[in-house]
Amino acid sequence: MTDIKTPEQATSLNDVRVGIDDIDRRIIEALALRMRYVERASCFKASAADIPAPERVAAMLPERRKWANAAGIDGNFVIELYERIIPWYIARQIDYWGNHRSGQT
């Protein structure tokens, strides 16, 4: 395995690319872990209609903006990103609920 250097330690374009590839892999792994939590949340929802939880989305977006700004990344970009991924996760959770929970009490 190639050693991952910090951005400050990178001495070549290849070092930078290796670092970016490692981060992208970890982002994808984090998104997959997030999906497992989303699927688990379906265990606590009485029906598929309970899944969207717009009040939860409304509460979490400002916090994500704050986290982004504190990390030095544009909060507006992060909000746009979440506005894209949240509906996808909701749709996947609805599908998951339908396949694993429908008909259960």
Residue 5 annotated in ligand binding:
no
Q: What pLDDT is recorded for position 105? A: 44
pTM of the model: 0.85
pLDDT at 100: 86
69-100: pLDDT as tens digits = 999 999 999 999 999 999 999 999 999 998 98
Domains parsed from the chain with CATH numbers:
13-100 (1.20.59.10)
The answer to whether 104 is annotated as binding is: no
How far apart are alpha carbons 53 and 93 in whole angstroms? 12
What's the mean pLDDT when you consider all of the chain? Answer: 93
- Please state, in angstroms and rounded to a whole number, the distance separating the CA atoms of residues 42 and 36: 10
Check whether 36 is labelled as a binding-site residue: no
34 annotated binding-site participant: yes
Give the count of beta carbons closer than 10 Å to the beta carbon of residue 95: 13
